[in-house]
Amino acid sequence: MTEVSDDLTDLIDLGDLGEQRPNRVAPWIAMAIAITMVGLFVVLIGADSEGGQDAQSPLLGRPAPEATGTLVDGGNFDLSQRKGSWVVLNFFRADCVPCIQEHPDLVEFTEQQAALGIDGAEFYSIVVDDSREDVEKFFADNGGDWPVVLDHQLIDVAFGVALVPETWIIDPSGIVEARIISRVSTERLNITMQQLREVYTG
């Protein structure tokens, strides 16, 4: 009888230990989650304050993929025909909040580039999964008179665009030089363009 009682006591003790173990681990799990969330928050804040984040891509340093389409005004777009000029492609959708937020910066950037004359970059918006009506209303409400590629042969897929907005810069030789994800600022675009021009002409 004593042996049975001892066995039951051992089982009860082990059961108690089993119940206590998660309680000892739980605070560490909570702390790890909290640290991860704080880190993510800091990264996101940093991304917004800098005006986007540089992102890696197999396309960087290589010739830009084929990109053709039809502009909102009915004209044709062919990226391969833009060699000789710096080209900035901005992938967007009219109901995308970061796209709406960055639009005034894009208007300012295009105006500054236009003022540079032949040395200024050509700017194109590439519509991703949106209708002509929504796109036309977007530009009517928010301004911007640069070319907008509405119908295209999956340019977003060719560039590996997962989420809008994304901004890509192609040099006059047709080489992909930069990929910026998330909302971009005028300052960020100007700094990036200046750095790339210096390297290109250096």
The pTM of this model reads 0.75
Q: What is the three-class DSSP state of 54?
A: strand
The domain segmentation of the chain, as residue ranges, is 1-50, 53-201
Residue-wise pLDDT tens digits, 87-141: 999 999 999 999 999 999 999 999 999 999 999 999 999 999 999 999 999 999 9
Class of domain 53-201: alpha beta
| Residue of 156, 154, 153, 201 whose CA lies nearest to 177 | 201
What tokens were used for 154?
A: 């999956």
Distance CA 81, CA 75 (A): 13
* The predicted structure's pLDDT at residue 53: 76
